[in-house]
């Protein structure tokens, strides 16, 4: 009797970790299934229809949307343009964000660090649309930027930045910079100061230490930041539309058009899944590099 | 190799005086131990010699060259960190080779010298391992190889053995001493472990509150500490207070204690120290007298530790301690009145 109770008690204890895992992760997975997977599946289904089955209309199964993509080369051109935009924005975020993260993690201590962190995070708290429109005030002809330049160098002339590719990059870099700073900060902070001092005592100059020690050790953070930025930038439509104007046509804006202006949901859905496939292929190709870096 | 000299060095952190007018000459090829409790400034002194900090006052020279304003990367000083600070993104070979690759030595020479260094620390064959695949002792050897492979003028060791367990530590002490002698490099190391300082060093400097309070050969420091602090920090000591009376000291409790050490003027207050291992616990009074000192005490506890015995004793309100070898005889049991006997030459007079 006593033996059987202990045995069942032991079994109960052995099971409880599994139950805890299910109880703790279950809600998140249920939510993800309902909120992400089901709509995505619906969209995937739409992409094979002639028209979206809403408001009583009936779509028929077809591959026409995917044929549309293959027949018109400009969709591919736009995807490549968006990939280039993603890479450019990620690169500039690294260029600006890494030094900032380094200073935050290694040079500044205590209260000042918190204050500067706040400055990094504040853009996150403001509304994205407001942020982008505030850039139009800065970048437009005779805007804040041009007037300040004109104040320093009178008669410098117009930069003509508004509604250009650089304007889109500027707006996107501003929006996504905090991701890079935060991920780099985390990996830089984990680097022991002793390592840097050890390298110095061995005769290494700053640049050598950066190249051989800090960059390799911070690589997981840099890669994480770049991925976090690259993916949403490829599909972005708001910044390109508002800041790029005529030059702001990317795959993201075309997809948005299909849903909001042209009401061709099946084509929008098909283009979305083609873009998703492109991203997955890129990550698959770079997987060995990413794995080593992380 | 080179001599290192520190002259009148002071270092402030805000208003905290980490080092206060410290001067030490480190002999060429010598093994110098900086000993002190935490906060005594010993690590600060090491970091000043390494070039991670600059002194607020004073001069530091290496091989006669003034270096106190030279940054660490230009000092040619090898340092082994307490945390070992091995580069986690490099294997053992690249870690050791680091100091040579930044000096842009030819690849073949790097290969030879790294091989020699790893041979010296007995780690040949582990070149391709990553630091996280090594044991604590192995990591330490890699750190040591890395610090000496570029033939620095000075080797600095920050608490070199504190991260190892006791068994490994004793082995590494002998190793470290052998390697240091083999390459003949001027070595300065920091420790808070008095036994480590005494075992490894040719000379020991004791620091307290940013000041050098005594230095000398390990035996000198142990046999002739100048202060109660040094007497108790280096080893163990029973401290007794009294007043100089002729050629002896009259203890506050009454008895007279003889010494062979020079004494200050008659009537001055002094503290004397007696090492616990120099005292014999005797059940009866010794009649021979003469050059011996004798005090009555009561055994409170006899602690058995295998090869030795520690007697905890009391005399009046004072606690005393005696170490005895385990010679096989029955230990004196608790609550027994005994006589403590030691030679006059074992009475150390420290400052009052």
Per-residue pLDDT at B352: 59
Q: CA nearest B255: which of B319, B336, B316, B322?
A: B316
Average pLDDT value over all residues in chain B: 90
Model confidence pLDDT, tens digit, residues B139-176 = 999 999 999 999 999 999 999 888 788 888 888 888 88
- Closest approach of chain A CAs to the CA of B88, in angstroms? 8
Contacts of A205 in chain B (CB under 8 A): 73, 102
Per-residue pLDDT at A217: 94
Contacts of A208 in chain B (CB under 8 A): 102
On whether any CB of chain B is under 8 Å from the CB of A215, the answer is no
Q: pLDDT exceeding 70 applies to what percent of chain B?
A: 98
Q: Which of B50, B73, B88 sits opposite A203 (nearest CB)?
A: B73
On whether any CB of chain B is under 8 Å from the CB of A207, the answer is no
Same topology between domain B4-225 and domain B236-350: no
Q: Given a cut of 50, is residue B344 above it in pLDDT?
A: yes
Model confidence pLDDT, tens digit, residues A219-232 = 999 999 999 999 99
| B293-322 exposure pattern, b = at least 16 Cβ within 10 A, e = fewer | bbbebebeebeeeeeebebebebeebebbb
In the CATH hierarchy, which fold is given to the domain comprising B236-350? OB fold (Dihydrolipoamide Acetyltransferase, E2P) (2.40.50)
Answer whether A192 sits within 8 Å of B85, measured CB to CB: yes
On whether any CB of chain A is under 8 Å from the CB of B260, the answer is no
Interface test with B, best of A190, A201, A207, A293 (most B CBs within 10 A): A201
Per-residue pLDDT at A167: 92
Per-residue pLDDT at A14: 53
Q: Give the pLDDT mean for A5-25.
A: 66
What domains appear along chain A, each with residue ranges and CATH number? 1-46 (no CATH), 65-293 (1.10.3720.10)
Answer whether B102 sits within 8 Å of A202, measured CB to CB: yes
Cα of B182 vs its chain's centroid, Å: 21
Q: Spell out the domain ranges in chain B.
A: 4-225, 236-350
On whether any CB of chain B is under 8 Å from the CB of A278, the answer is no
pLDDT-derived band at A9, boundaries 50, 70, 90: very low
Per-residue pLDDT at B87: 96
Answer whether B79 sits within 8 Å of A198, measured CB to CB: yes
Model confidence pLDDT, tens digit, residues B329-342 = 888 888 888 888 89
Per-residue pLDDT at B34: 95
Contacts of A194 in chain B (CB under 8 A): 81, 83, 85
Q: Given a cut of 80, is residue B285 above it in pLDDT?
A: no
On whether any CB of chain B is under 8 Å from the CB of A1, the answer is no
Phi, psi of B158 (to 5 degrees): -100, 110
Q: Given a cut of 90, is residue B32 above it in pLDDT?
A: yes
Q: How far apart are CA A131 and CA B56, in angstroms?
A: 49
Q: Given a cut of 80, is residue B290 above it in pLDDT?
A: no
Per-residue pLDDT at B77: 95
Asked if B4 contacts B154 with a C-beta cutoff of 8 angstroms, the reply is yes
Asked if B342 contacts B280 with a C-beta cutoff of 8 angstroms, the reply is yes
Q: How far apart are CA A68 and CA A73, in angstroms?
A: 9
Per-residue pLDDT at A15: 63
| B215-231 exposure pattern, b = at least 16 Cβ within 10 A, e = fewer | bbebeebbeebbbbbbb
Per-residue pLDDT at B276: 93
Q: Please give the full DSSP string across B173-207, using - where no structure is assigned.
A: HHHHHHHHHHHT-EEEEEES-HHHHHHH-SEEEEE
State the architecture of B4-225 in CATH terms. Answer: 3-Layer(aba) Sandwich (3.40)
């Amino acid at each position: 009797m006593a033996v059987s109770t202990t045995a069942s008690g032991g079994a109960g204890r052995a099971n409880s970790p599994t139950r805890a895992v299910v109880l703790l992760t279950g809600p998140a997975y249920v939510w993800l299934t309902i909120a992400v997977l089901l709509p995505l599946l619906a969209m995937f289904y739409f992409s094979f229809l002639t028209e979206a089955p809403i408001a009583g209309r009936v779509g028929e199964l077809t591959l026409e949307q995917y044929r549309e993509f293959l027949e018109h080369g400009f969709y591919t051109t736009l995807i490549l343009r968006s990939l280039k935009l993603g890479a450019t924005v990620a690169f500039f975020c690294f260029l600006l964000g890494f030094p900032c993260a380094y200073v935050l993690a290694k040079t500044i201590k205590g209260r000042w660090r918190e204050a500067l962190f706040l400055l990094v995070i504040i853009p996150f708290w403001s509304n994205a649309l407001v942020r982008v429109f505030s850039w139009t005030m800065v970048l437009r002809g005779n805007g804040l930027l041009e007037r300040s330049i004109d104040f320093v160098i009178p008669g410098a002339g117009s930069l003509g930045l508004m509604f250009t590719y650089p304007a889109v990059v500027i707006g996107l870099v501003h929006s996504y910079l905090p991701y890079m700073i935060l991920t780099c900060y985390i990996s830089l902070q984990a680097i022991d100061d002793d390592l840097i001092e050890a390298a110095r005592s061995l005769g290494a100059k700053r640049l050598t230490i950066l190249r051989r020690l800090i960059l390799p050790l911070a690589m997981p953070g840099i890669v994480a930041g770049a991925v976090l930025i690259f993916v949403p930038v490829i599909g972005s439509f708001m910044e390109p539309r508002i800041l790029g104007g005529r030059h702001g046509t990317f795959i993201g804006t075309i997809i948005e058009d299909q849903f909001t202006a042209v009401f061709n949901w099946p084509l929008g859905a098909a283009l979305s899944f083609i873009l998703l496939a492109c991203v997955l292929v890129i990550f698959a190709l770079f997987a060995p590099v990413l794995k080593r870096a992380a | 190799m080179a001599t290192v000299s520190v002259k009148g060095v002071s270092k402030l952190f805000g208003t905290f005086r980490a080092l206060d007018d410290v001067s030490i000459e480190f002999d060429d090829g010598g093994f110098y131990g900086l000993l002190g409790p935490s906060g005594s400034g010993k690590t600060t002194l090491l970091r000043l010699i390494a070039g991670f900090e600059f002194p607020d006052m004073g001069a530091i020279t290496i091989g006669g060259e003034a270096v106190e304003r030279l940054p660490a990367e230009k000092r040619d000083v090898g340092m082994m960190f307490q945390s070992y600070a091995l580069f986690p993104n490099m294997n053992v070979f690249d870690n050791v080779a680091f100091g040579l690759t930044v000096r842009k030595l030819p690849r073949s020479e790097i290969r030879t010298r790294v091989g020699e260094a790893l041979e010296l620390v007995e780690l040949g064959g582990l070149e391709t391992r990553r630091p996280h695949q090594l044991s604590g002792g192995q990591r330490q050897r890699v750190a040591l190889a890395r610090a000496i492979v570029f033939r620095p003028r000075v080797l600095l060791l920050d608490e070199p053995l504190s991260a190892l367990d006791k068994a490994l530590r004793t082995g590494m002490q002998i190793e470290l001493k052998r390697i240091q002698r083999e390459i003949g490099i001027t070595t300065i190391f920091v420790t808070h472990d008095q036994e480590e300082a005494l075992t490894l060093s040719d000379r020991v400097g004791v620091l307290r509150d940013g000041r050098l309070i005594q230095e000398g050969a390990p035996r000198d420091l142990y046999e002739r500490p100048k202060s109660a602090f040094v007497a108790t920090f280096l080893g163990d000591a029973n401290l007794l207070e009294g007043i100089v009376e002729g050629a002896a000291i009259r203890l506050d409790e009454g008895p007279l204690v003889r010494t062979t050490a020079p004494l200050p003027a008659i009537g001055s207050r002094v503290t004397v120290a007696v090492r616990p291992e120099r005292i014999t616990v005797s059940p009866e009074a010794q009649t021979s007298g003469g050059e011996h000192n004798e005090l009555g005490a009561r055994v409170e506890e006899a602690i058995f530790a295998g090869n030795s015995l520690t007697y905890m004793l009391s005399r009046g309100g004072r606690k005393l301690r005696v170490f005895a070898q385990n010679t096989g005889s029955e230990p004196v049991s608790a609550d027994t009145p005994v006589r403590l006997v030691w030679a006059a030459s074992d009475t150390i007079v420290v400052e009052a």
